[in-house]
Amino acid sequence: MEARPVDAKMITRRCIVARLQEISISKYRDLVQENAGALLILIPADLGSISTSDAKHLQTLERELLLLAEETSMPVYFALETEELAQIYSDIHSGNAGDQAATAVQALMSGATANGFQMVIAGSQAKALGEFQITNVQGHLSGYGIEEQLPTVAFVAHYDAFGIATGLAEGADSNGSGVIALLELARLFSKLYTNSRTHAKYNLVFLLSGGGKFNYQGTKRWIEDNLDSQDTNLLSDVAYVVCLDTIGQSDNLYLHVSKPPKEDSAGNVFLQNLREIIGSYYPQLKFEMVHKKINLADDILAWEHERFSIKRLPAFTLSHLESHKSPDRETVLDTRSKVDVKKLRRNIHIVAEAVARHIYNISSRGDVQLFSKTLDVQEELVSAWLHHLTEKSRAAQLLHKDHKLLNNLEETLNRYLKDVKRSTLKADKRDPEFIFYDGAEYTMSAYNVKPAIFDLFLALGIIGYLALVYLAVQVKESFTIGDD
Amino acid sequence: MTLFHFGNCVALAYVPYAIVYKCSGLAEYSAFWKCAQAGAAYLFTQLCKMLILATFFPATEVSTGGLDVIGEFLKSTVDLADLIGLHLVMSRIAGKGQLKFMVAGLGWATAELLMTRFIPLWVGARGVEFDWKYIQMSFESNINLVHHICTAMLVWLRSRNDLQKSLMPVVMSLLALSCYRPLIVEIITHAIGLGSWTLLSFKALFTGCVGVIALQMFLGLSGQSNSNSYY
């Protein structure tokens, strides 16, 4: 399809190339209405250092494009703006290929001299991945004593990311930070649990769930599998479940609950521990409990802990976001530079400390920090994981069950935990709860083309030239023959 | 549209050959078969050249970007085989002088055109992407036609006994010039940094100069031989 700037008059079956700032939702509607062939949105190459107004614009656009679930045949592509793309962009702006010329002659002339671009997409149409499986990775540390009779503390973090352009969804903060926290917690507690003197009387369960951005499908299946089954007793006696979601930045920390924990419950102890630790070690951190009842009428659950709360398991989610509606959780802007490693380290430390005080039953008065020195959260490890997790897009549909990243996560958990295994789930064939489509990344080629009218001119020129040659040869011939 | 473009390029590249063939009197002598023979000789010569190049000139990996003058000079020296090939072709063709070198030059150039131009045009000019280089390539093939005819003419002149002795050095130097043309062009490109269009016009100018001088000598000679009633 021919490339056109966004303000061109004729856009039917053309590929519109536009910068992010030029596209608004009303513009998008116009394009759909006029049957534009495709829309290519150039977003700045450096998503980390994008200006705040641009970021806001992108986030609203993401949101609204998603809300516009109307069926359109117009594909929307996102590309990071490279030098070449910027060149093409300015070229199609300067030579607008005769659509807007005043007279026919002008149109003809500009048509003959213009530099057009032909955009060609390689690859087939996006199709549904019917057999797609969401993978959960789990592992546990069994407590001291008879395993079946001990209470359990569970840590849950979903590992997938989401963004309007699936190929660009790095999801550093949401939920790379949660995954890193979970891995660090697994590492720290495995150290404690291998020593018989620091072997607590609690089972610890770690779950990396898939499909978190899609109504926590992985968590849902995992709870169903483990709650009522006979052969596993992971969830038979749960003290509480800690869901980690988006904890990689800012000086706020919110504990989201569906029901405030009762006075004497384990959850309350954890909450008190959190309060005390933050109060004594990190006074600059603002900590609050946010109480939000589960809205069963809503199709989408707000936080991951609600999956557990529905099944009457005490659970809460830790996040630096006050509301689940924050656009920060589902954006392509969630890049590595968004995450502050120091703050992530601090948050991991707080969680580890709070859980440890609970399971070792240390009444808080003594100002002991369990996790310090060699047992501290390692910043290098945190940033290494961050690097690894954000290297490629972690959109749910890209993380098929043999994905390298999943293998790495499983291997890492295997090093610290026992019984590490992965479980997969498929959508029900008849009434699927989720359908994924492939086609996260495409290659679009831009060909420099000349309009047909140019070829016509060229043909005329060539005919003229050939006629000239013919005449010259004739003259020379007569000259030579005359000479002969 | 792209097929149209391909047609343009092909017309630009091939029609001058046809014009030259028709108008230079070759058609009247039904010299087509001889032209084909000259083309076959071209193929054979290229094969020999390639064998020599492959045997005696190992690929130099060093020169990337820089200009390997000596290597290029040696390679151009192998192009002397072209001259020998042309000479052999002309010695085989019976007929009067003018016909001889026209047949040899045209056949030679046509064979080169078919061998080196057709496939790039077919692959490139039909693609979606537009590039001036196919038009340039077609122009260059026109220049090559003149070049080859000139070279054939010079080779023929050199083999003549009735050429004035004073003109012999001129002929020899022109032959050397046309033989080392790729080298000279490359050196100048490197020195001045010519663009593709200026390079093309430079080639045209170069070939034109050689052609005009050679034509002058030929005309002088044929005039002289006329007076000698050689034919």
For the segment A64-91, what is each residue's pLDDT rounded down to a tens digit?
Answer: 776 665 566 677 788 888 888 888 888 7
Mean pLDDT on A335-345? 83
Q: Who contacts B209 (Cβ-Cβ below 8 Å, separation ≥6)?
A: none
Cα(B144)–Cα(B169) distance, integer angstroms: 24
| B contact test, residue of A117, A453, A473, A474 with most B CBs within 10 A | A473
**Nearest by CB: A455 against B1, B15, B142:** B1
- Cross-chain Cβ contact A483/B219 below 8 Å: yes
Token look-up 């026109």 returns B142
Instruction: Note down pLDDT in tens along chain B; length 231 residues.
Output: 577 778 888 888 888 888 877 776 666 666 677 778 888 888 888 888 888 888 876 665 555 555 667 777 777 777 778 788 878 877 777 666 667 777 788 888 888 888 887 787 777 766 667 777 788 888 888 888 888 888 888 887 777 766 677 777 777 888 887 778 777 877 877 777 767 778 788 888 888 888 888 777 777 766 655 443 333
| A contact test, residue of B12, B101, B137, B227 with most A CBs within 10 A | B12
Q: Who contacts B107 (Cβ-Cβ below 8 Å, separation ≥6)?
A: B34, B35, B36, B37, B38, B39, B41, B42, B89
Domains and CATH numbers, chain A: 3-125+438-450 (no CATH), 131-434 (3.40.630.10)
CA of A166 vs chain B CAs: smallest distance (Å):
29
Quick: pLDDT tens for A139-179. Answer: 888 888 777 778 888 899 888 888 777 777 788 887 888 88
| A contact test, residue of B130, B150, B153, B230 with most A CBs within 10 A | B130
Query: What DSSP line would sit under A310-353, residue for residue?
Result: HTT--EEEEES-S-TT-GGGS-TT--GGG--HHHHHHHHHHHHH
Beta bridge pairs of residue A422: A137
Q: What is the mean pLDDT of chain A?
A: 79
Q: Who contacts A343 (Cβ-Cβ below 8 Å, separation ≥6)?
A: A248, A249, A250, A251
Quick: pLDDT tens for B157-189. Answer: 777 766 677 777 777 888 887 778 777 877 877
Q: Is the dihedral of CA A148, A151, A155, A158 positive or negative?
A: positive
What is residue A392's three-state secondary structure?
coil
Cα(A283)–Cα(A346) distance, integer angstroms: 12
Cα(A5)–Cα(A92) distance, integer angstroms: 6
- Cross-chain Cβ contact B135/A458 below 8 Å: yes
Mean pLDDT on A426-442? 73
- Cross-chain Cβ contact B222/A477 below 8 Å: no
Interface of A with B (CB under 8 A): 118, 120, 447-450, 452, 455, 458-459, 462-463, 465-466, 469-470, 473-474, 477, 480-481, 483-484
The more confidently predicted of residues A40 and A95 is A40
pTM, whole model, 2 decimals?
0.70
Check residue A484 and give its pLDDT: 42
Token look-up 């240390």 returns A362
